């Protein structure tokens, strides 16, 4: 046989590929020599489990005996198949399991035996970690969760020599598929700085502002926390009340603007809403001490201020997505305590307010793991978003980890373009102080549902004070915010609440445009005590819930229409095209240095309905000084006080005792000459409003109608 024959060439190519694989694997192992192999502190959990199992040997014996019987039956059936007979399956694959779709898993006795042996072993392992007496609930859930992940990892589809599709590819390519796969793995290791971040999509196929996040609009406001994007109208008339969307800060907002066909932002604009969305900063080490309160005060509340400044419209409909909804609810309770009721309706997409039953995510939240995270964050000042993404991916490991592992590494295929997975890989960071506070106060201690258990700038947060109409939209297969947990949170608000339960999961159930006609949903305005009772009586509907939600918003907004609002015509000058600068910031980028917007310099709004909107060239709260009108109001208040002696005696009255006056406003009032209860008691509510607005236009949000009466009672004491 000639040395240059095709057979010899194939043998040489295979040998070269195997040698290259050996070199690659040597380098791969060196990169993992110092890796922490127990980041979830599983050693202690499984030690407790083993002790509990050992104390009940009867359970261990029974489960082992059942496994042994099934294994013997599988051996008999396998021998029958190898001898040409028709074997019967001892265990069947779940219809939803897509791992074993290759024909060889069913039609070749060896692969059928491998598959069934794996499934029987999986059943046995699950039985050993289920209903174990003597384990606390958290440890039991942790052991069950990670045992399931262990089972996922051991699937024969994840190994080259036990996956028929991989073997076929190796033969077809003379082993080059394995070389390509290992090169893909090395690229992912390099991109992850030593951590294996499996590429889920071709990131080079997408560009923000071009083929994702491409809806037309302008950035009209920016500060250190966020950019505010206003989308260009697509209708001649729009709802008078504006729409603000508060996305989660652990992901980028454009999950709601992937493509025109599934963009919620574009669809809402087409329905006649003036749509604003918060684009959160991707914080770097300089934000290490940024607290949750900054996302409330400098985030949501300031966004509402900016909307009023650019449109002249104080009333806002708001949507919060996931933890963006948690933030929205916290902000509304904070605003309510300050007599600020500009948010007139609230919609919560897959939002948890009650964290008593956080679902599978709870296995990641305990003192050991949070302490480890805090130690890690102390080194950088933030938590990488990829860490959170990894936890989310573990909830659906076969779909979001192992399917890509097989495709990219074992089959040697390049990842395919997919907009949703591009967004999923576009991680953000979380400031140390904020993330630590969030995990401890909400997930670990469930403080948000306890009235005044948490504070924002010394203001107690009470969810029951939120009396604006609310609509909760959850999804039945959500592993991140389980719908029964979101339902418990819905019952905590003080106003009218509607609850919608859509199909599918955390993303697909929300990004579900009407044209797709998928999933269906249930809805009810009644909120019985339990989620099960709600489900029993909720009305079922086909298709998307989007139109039903839109009808709900219009019904609670008075259906008042005004001329369409263009970002160019508002009180705030457009800064740049959507989607803006902050959203472009990648995982390793520093925060861009931007010129922050001065709301006091807003232009007069052109719309007739906005005649009383933002005034030009007024001052911000930070550098405000007493104006002539404010000084005049304060002087009048002093002159109308009961007596000079009384005023002097009360010069240091604690104005925060008046419901709606927080420490900052009390300080501003005193700087402007109002220092006593008697002075406020001598003024009318309208005079107080005028004084507040003269001090700072943003103070228009306060409602002082009850302040004079409260001040009079306090003055008499």
Q: What is the DSSP string of 171-215?
A: HHHTTHHHHHHHHHHHHHHHHTTTS-----S-GGG--BTTTBS--
| Claim to verify: residue 341 and residue 463 sit in the same structural domain | yes
Asked if 542 and 512 count as a contact pair (C-beta separation under 8 A), the reply is no
| Claim to verify: residue 296 and residue 345 sit in the same structural domain | yes
Asked if 270 and 571 count as a contact pair (C-beta separation under 8 A), the reply is no
Confidence of residue 11 (pLDDT cuts 50, 70, 90): low
pLDDT tens for each residue of 650-689: 457 888 888 778 777 888 888 888 988 888 889 998 889 8
Token duo for residue 135: 């384990």
* 685 domain-assigned: yes
Residue 635 has pLDDT above 70, yes or no: no
Token duo for residue 549: 């939600």
* 197 domain-assigned: no
* 23 domain-assigned: no
| Claim to verify: residue 558 and residue 436 sit in the same structural domain | yes
- Token pair 């779709």: residue: 101
Q: Which residues are catalytic?
A: 322
Q: Which domain holds residue 682?
A: 621-716
The dihedral region occupied by 377, where left means phi > 0, alpha psi between -120 and 50, and beta the remainder, is: alpha
Choice between 649 and 260, residue whose per-residue pLDDT is larger: 260
* 521 domain-assigned: yes
What's the start-to-end Cα distance of the chain, in Å? 112
CA distance linking residue 114 with residue 234, whole number of Å? 58
Choice between 692 and 104, residue whose per-residue pLDDT is larger: 104
CA distance linking residue 169 with residue 410, whole number of Å? 9
Closest C-alpha among 551, 447, 535, 553 to residue 487: 535
**DSSP annotation string for 494-505:** SS-EEEEEESS-
Residue 447 has pLDDT above 80, yes or no: yes
Least confident residue range of 191-205, 533-547, 565-579: 191-205
* 315 domain-assigned: yes
With 0-12 CB in 10 A as exposed, 13-18 as middle and 19+ as buried, what is 23?
exposed
With 0-12 CB in 10 A as exposed, 13-18 as middle and 19+ as buried, what is 313?
buried
Long-range contacts of 189-194 (CB under 8 A, 24+ apart): 189/28, 189/31, 192/386, 194/31
Residue 78 has pLDDT above 80, yes or no: yes
pLDDT of residue 715: 84
Domain limit, last residue, from 116, 141, 158: 158
pLDDT of residue 628: 38
| Claim to verify: residue 572 and residue 632 sit in the same structural domain | no
Three-class HEC string of 429-480: CEEHHHHHHHHHHHHHCCCCCCCCCCEECCEECCHHHCCCCEEEEEECCCCC
| Claim to verify: residue 346 and residue 495 sit in the same structural domain | yes
* 59 domain-assigned: yes
Confidence of residue 460 (pLDDT cuts 50, 70, 90): very high
pLDDT tens for each residue of 389-444: 777 778 788 888 899 999 999 999 999 999 999 998 898 999 999 999 999 999 99
Close Cβ partners of 197 (under 8 Å, ≥ 6 residues apart): 188, 191, 386, 425
pLDDT tens for each residue of 556-602: 998 899 999 999 999 999 999 999 999 999 878 899 999 999 999 88
| Claim to verify: residue 649 and residue 515 sit in the same structural domain | no
With 0-12 CB in 10 A as exposed, 13-18 as middle and 19+ as buried, what is 715?
buried
Whichever domain contains 482, its CATH number is 3.40.50.1820
H or E segment at 523? strand 521-524
pLDDT of residue 13: 64
pLDDT of residue 323: 96
Domain limit, last residue, from 117, 142, 158: 158
Token duo for residue 704: 């002082």
Q: What angle do CA 419, 270, 308 make, to 5 degrees?
A: 100
| Claim to verify: residue 338 and residue 444 sit in the same structural domain | yes
CA distance linking residue 227 with residue 246, whole number of Å? 12
pLDDT above 70 covers what percent of the chain?
A: 87
The alpha carbon torsion through 30, 36, 37, 39 (nearest 10 deg) reads -150
Residue 705 has pLDDT above 70, yes or no: yes
Confidence of residue 18 (pLDDT cuts 50, 70, 90): low
Q: What are phi and psi of 688, to 5 degrees?
A: -65, -40
Mean pLDDT of all residues belonging to the chain: 86
How does 365-374 read in b/e, with b if 16+ C-beta sit within 10 Å? bbeebbeebb
CA distance linking residue 160 with residue 154, whole number of Å? 12
In this prediction, residues 511-523 reach a mean pLDDT of 94
Number of Cβ within 10 Å of residue 459's Cβ equals: 22
Asked if 637 and 675 count as a contact pair (C-beta separation under 8 A), the reply is no
| Claim to verify: residue 296 and residue 441 sit in the same structural domain | yes
Least confident residue range of 24-38, 335-349, 365-379, 447-461: 24-38
- Token pair 């060439």: residue: 9
* 535 domain-assigned: yes
Number of domains in the chain: 3
Asked if 216 and 231 count as a contact pair (C-beta separation under 8 A), the reply is yes
Half-sphere exposure of 654 (CA within 13 A, CB side): 4
Lateral strand order in the sheet of 521-524: 539-541, 521-524, 497-502, 470-475, 343-349, 316-321, 242-246, 275-280, 226-231, 217-222, 576-577
CA distance linking residue 661 with residue 166, whole number of Å? 68
CA distance linking residue 407 with residue 403, whole number of Å? 6
* 518 domain-assigned: yes
| Claim to verify: residue 482 and residue 571 sit in the same structural domain | yes
Q: What are phi and psi of 548, to 5 degrees?
A: -65, -40
Residue 623 has pLDDT above 60, yes or no: no
| Claim to verify: residue 478 and residue 331 sit in the same structural domain | yes
| Claim to verify: residue 625 and residue 706 sit in the same structural domain | yes
Domain limit, last residue, from 562, 584, 606: 584
With 0-12 CB in 10 A as exposed, 13-18 as middle and 19+ as buried, what is 664?
middle
| Claim to verify: residue 319 and residue 466 sit in the same structural domain | yes
CA distance linking residue 143 with residue 371, whole number of Å? 20
Highest mean pLDDT, choosing among 12-21, 60-69, 174-183, 310-319: 310-319
Residue 643 has pLDDT above 80, yes or no: no
Token duo for residue 213: 């996040």
pTM of the model: 0.77
Q: How far is CA 364 from CA 134, 139, 151, 351, in A?
A: 21, 11, 18, 19
Choice between 298 and 668, residue whose per-residue pLDDT is larger: 298
Q: What are phi and psi of 304, to 5 degrees?
A: -65, -40
In this prediction, residues 485-500 reach a mean pLDDT of 96
CA distance linking residue 353 with residue 499, whole number of Å? 14
**DSSP annotation string for 124-171:** HHHHHTSS-TT--HHHHHHHHHHHHHHHHHT-GGGSGGG-HHHHHHHH
H or E segment at 416? none
Residue 345 has pLDDT above 80, yes or no: yes
Asked if 386 and 197 count as a contact pair (C-beta separation under 8 A), the reply is yes
The alpha carbon of residue 77 and the mean position of all alpha carbons in its chain are separated, in whole angstroms, by 49
């Amino acid at each position: 046989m000639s040395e240059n024959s095709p057979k010899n060439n194939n043998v040489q190519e295979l040998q070269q590929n195997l040698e290259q694989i050996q070199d690659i694997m040597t380098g791969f192992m060196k990169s993992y020599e110092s890796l922490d192999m127990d980041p979830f502190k599983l050693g202690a959990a499984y030690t407790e489990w083993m002790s509990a199992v050992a104390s009940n040997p009867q359970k261990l014996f029974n489960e082992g005996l059942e496994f042994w019987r099934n294994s013997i039956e599988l051996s008999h059936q396998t021998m029958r198949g190898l001898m040409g007979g028709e074997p019967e399956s001892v265990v069947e694959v779940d219809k939803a399991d897509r791992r074993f779709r290759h024909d060889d898993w069913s039609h070749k006795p060896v692969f059928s035996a491998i598959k069934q042996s794996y499934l029987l072993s999986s059943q046995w392992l699950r039985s050993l970690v289920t209903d174990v007496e003597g384990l606390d609930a958290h440890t039991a859930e942790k052991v069950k969760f990670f045992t399931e992940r262990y089972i996922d990892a051991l699937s024969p589809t994840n190994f080259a020599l036990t996956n028929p599709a991989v073997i076929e590819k190796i033969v077809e390519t003379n082993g080059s598929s394995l070389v390509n796969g290992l090169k893909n793995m090395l690229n992912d290791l390099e991109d992850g700085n030593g951590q294996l971040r499996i590429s889920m999509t071709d990131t080079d196929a997408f560009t923000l502002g071009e083929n994702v996040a491409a809806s037309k609009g302008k950035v009209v406001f920016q500060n250190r926390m966020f950019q505010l994007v206003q989308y260009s109208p697509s209708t001649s008339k729009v709802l008078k009340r504006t729409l603000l969307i508060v996305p989660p800060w652990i992901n980028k907002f454009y999950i709601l603007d992937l493509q025109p066909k599934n963009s919620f932002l574009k669809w809402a604009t087409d329905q006649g809403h003036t749509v604003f969305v918060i684009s959160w900063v991707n914080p770097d080490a300089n934000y290490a001490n940024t607290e949750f309160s900054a996302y409330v005060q400098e985030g949501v509340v300031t966004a509402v201020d900016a909307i009023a400044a650019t449109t002249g419209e104080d009333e806002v409909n708001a949507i919060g997505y996931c933890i963006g909804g948690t933030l929205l609810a916290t902000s509304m309770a904070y605003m309510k305590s300050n007599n600020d009721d500009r948010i007139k309706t609230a919609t919560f997409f897959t939002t948890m307010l009650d964290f008593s039953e956080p679902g599978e995510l709870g296995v990641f939240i305990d003192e050991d793991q949070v302490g480890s995270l805090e130690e890690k964050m102390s080194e950088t000042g933030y938590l990488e978003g990829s860490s959170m993404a990894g936890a989310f991916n573990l909830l659906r490991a076969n779909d979001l980890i192992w399917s890509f592992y097989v495709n990219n590494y074992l089959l040697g295929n390049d990842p395919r373009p997919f907009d949703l997975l591009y967004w999923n890989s576009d991680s953000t960071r979380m400031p140390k102080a904020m993330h630590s506070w969030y995990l401890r106060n909400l997930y670990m201690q469930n403080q948000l549902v306890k009235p005044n258990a948490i504070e924002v700038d010394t203001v107690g947060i009470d969810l029951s004070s939120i009396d604006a109409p609310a609509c909760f939209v959850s999804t039945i297969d959500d592993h991140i915010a389980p719908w029964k947990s979101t339902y418990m949170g819905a019952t905590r608000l003080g106003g009218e609440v509607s609850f919608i339960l859509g199909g599918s999961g955390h993303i697909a159930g929300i990004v579900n445009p009407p044209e797709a006609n998928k999933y269906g949903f249930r809805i009810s305005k009644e909120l019985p005590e339990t989620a099960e009772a709600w489900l029993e009586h909720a009305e079922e509907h086909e298709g998307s819930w989007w139109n039903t939600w839109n009808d709900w918003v219009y019904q609670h907004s008075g259906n008042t229409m005004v001329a369409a609002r263009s970002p160019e015509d508002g009180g705030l000058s457009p800064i740049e095209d959507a989607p803006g600068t902050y959203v472009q910031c990648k995982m390793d980028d520093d925060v861009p240095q931007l010129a922050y917007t001065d709301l006091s310099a807003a232009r007069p709004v052109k719309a007739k309905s906005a005649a009383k909107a933002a005034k030009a060239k007024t001052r911000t709260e930070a550098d405000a000084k007493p104006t002539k009108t404010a000084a005049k109001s304060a002087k009048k208040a002093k002159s109308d006080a009961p007596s000079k002696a009384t005023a002097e005696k009360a010069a240091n009255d604690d104005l925060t005792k008046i419901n709606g006056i927080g420490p900052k406003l009390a300080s501003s009032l005193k700087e402007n000459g109002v220092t006593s209860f008697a002075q406020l008691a001598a003024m009318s509510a309208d005079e107080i409003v005028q004084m507040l607005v003269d001090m700072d236009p943003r103070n228009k949000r306060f409602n002082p109608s009850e302040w004079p009466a409260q001040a009079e009672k306090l003055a008499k004491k």
